């Protein structure tokens, strides 16, 4: 048996995000921040000019329903904005309550986080709601500027070395990166946060990763290679559970496919390193087949959120 602990140990790094997001709700308080803005004047280099079925970029920051609130939050974090202010209109009587409900939903916000570039993913969001209906978001991003600079430089160097001119097919290009990451990374059984295994830094510089680290690094490569992609997270049973997993999804020739480096780099009981392609560029039906003899629920995802991956059969 080659896989023995990944479904358990991977959960810790997802919980880091969930517990951080728990700082969100501060109740009905006035929090004045002169640096806040109700317009997004600039977008950073990692802004994704992409809307998905579940969430969309928006230029309208006056919400009239829950979907509008989700779109606003997505647009803010997707742009790399740190402080942002918007207002509940009088016509939207449940606006404040809906915002409180959404920003308390740690699972929902974690799924929302998966649609942005890893460098624009947050570790926590602080939300302040004034009696006047003024909503102020303060986003604390997961990656430091130093992390981003180092990761970009190394990824660019690797792409230049690994993707040679004779490699022209999408399948082959992605396989080269998939195999490189797995061959140079071991699963971090100790969840050593000092090694930053929960972000792309860990596998790139310390050769260790949890599922978050594998997925973030692959997502960064995919984005630099021009592939539309996002991360997919397990559907959690409830907000208190520690169970969960995250992997990549990407679009090739109009089709959305799964890519799970963590499960293609199994922890083995014999101490040997293994490289699989069982979870490499497969559709959702093939994902179910790959998991047919596995009791883990790691790849059970919400098709109402990750709509692009929805199976065609009943």
Q: Give the tens place of pLDDT for each residue, 249-259.
A: 999 999 999 99
Residue 75 pLDDT exceeds 90: yes
User: Per mean pLDDT, which range of 201-215, 218-232, 234-248 is the poorest?
Assistant: 234-248
In eight-state DSSP terms, residue 206 is I
Reading the block at residue 24, the tokens are 């969100």
**Helix H segments across 63-169?**
66-79, 95-104, 106-113, 145-162
Q: How far apart are CA 136 and CA 69, in angstroms?
A: 12
- pLDDT on residue 130: 85
- pLDDT on residue 62: 94
Q: How confident is the model at residue 270 (pLDDT cuts 50, 70, 90)?
A: low
- pLDDT on residue 39: 78
Is this structure's pTM higher than 0.85?
A: yes
Q: How confident is the model at residue 3 (pLDDT cuts 50, 70, 90)?
A: very low
Q: How confident is the model at residue 295 (pLDDT cuts 50, 70, 90)?
A: confident
User: Per mean pLDDT, which range of 197-206, 221-230, 231-240 is the poorest?
Assistant: 231-240
Q: Which residue has the higher pLDDT, 22 or 55?
A: 55
| Beta strands across the sheet bearing 229-233 | 229-233, 246-252, 255-259, 280-282
Domains and CATH numbers, the chain: 14-141 (no CATH), 145-309 (3.10.620)
**Helix H segments across 163-278?**
170-183, 201, 211-224, 261-264
Average pLDDT, the chain: 86
Residue 199 pLDDT exceeds 90: yes
Q: How far apart are CA 129 and CA 126, in angstroms?
A: 10
- pLDDT on residue 29: 34
Instruction: Please calculate the CA angle 243-249-254 and round it to the nearest 5 degrees.
Output: 150
- Averaged pLDDT, 240-253: 83
- Averaged pLDDT, 18-43: 49
- pLDDT on residue 35: 42
Residue 22 pLDDT exceeds 50: no
User: Per mean pLDDT, which range of 6-15, 97-106, 234-243 is the poorest?
Assistant: 6-15
- Averaged pLDDT, 79-108: 94
Q: How confident is the model at residue 131 (pLDDT cuts 50, 70, 90)?
A: confident
């Amino acid at each position: 048996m080659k896989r023995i602990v990944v479904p358990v140990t991977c959960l810790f790094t997802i919980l880091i995000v969930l517990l951080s997001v728990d700082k969100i709700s501060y109740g009905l308080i006035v929090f004045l921040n002169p640096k806040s803005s109700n317009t997004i004047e600039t977008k950073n280099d990692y802004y994704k000019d992409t809307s998905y079925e579940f969430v969309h970029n928006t230029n309208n920051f006056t919400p009239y329903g829950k979907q509008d609130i989700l779109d606003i939050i997505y647009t803010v974090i997707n742009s790399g904005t740190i402080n942002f202010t918007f207002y509940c209109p009088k016509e939207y009587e449940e606006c404040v309550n809906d915002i409180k409900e959404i920003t308390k939903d740690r699972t929902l916000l974690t799924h929302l986080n998966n649609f942005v570039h890893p460098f624009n993913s947050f570790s926590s969001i602080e939300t302040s709601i004034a009696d006047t209906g003024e909503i102020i978001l303060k986003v604390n991003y997961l990656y430091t500027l130093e992390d981003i600079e180092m990761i970009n430089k190394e990824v660019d160097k690797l792409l230049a070395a690994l993707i040679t001119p004779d490699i022209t097919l999408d399948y082959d290009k992605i396989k080269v990166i998939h195999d490189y990451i797995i061959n140079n990374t071991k699963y971090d059984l100790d969840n050593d946060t000092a090694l930053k295994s929960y972000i792309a830094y860990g596998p790139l510089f310390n050769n260790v990763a949890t599922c978050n680290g594998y997925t973030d690094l692959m997502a960064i490569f995919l984005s630099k290679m021009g592939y539309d992609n996002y991360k997919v997270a397990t559907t959690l049973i409830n907000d208190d559970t520690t169970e969960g997993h995250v992997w990549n999804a990407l679009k090739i020739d109009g089709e959305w496919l799964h890519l799970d480096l963590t499960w293609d780099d199994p922890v083995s009981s014999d101490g040997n390193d293994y490289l699989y392609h069982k979870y490499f560029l497969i559709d959702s039906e093939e994902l179910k087949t790959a998991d047919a003899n596995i009791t883990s629920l790691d790849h059970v995802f919400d098709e109402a959120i990750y709509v692009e991956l929805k199976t065609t059969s009943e």
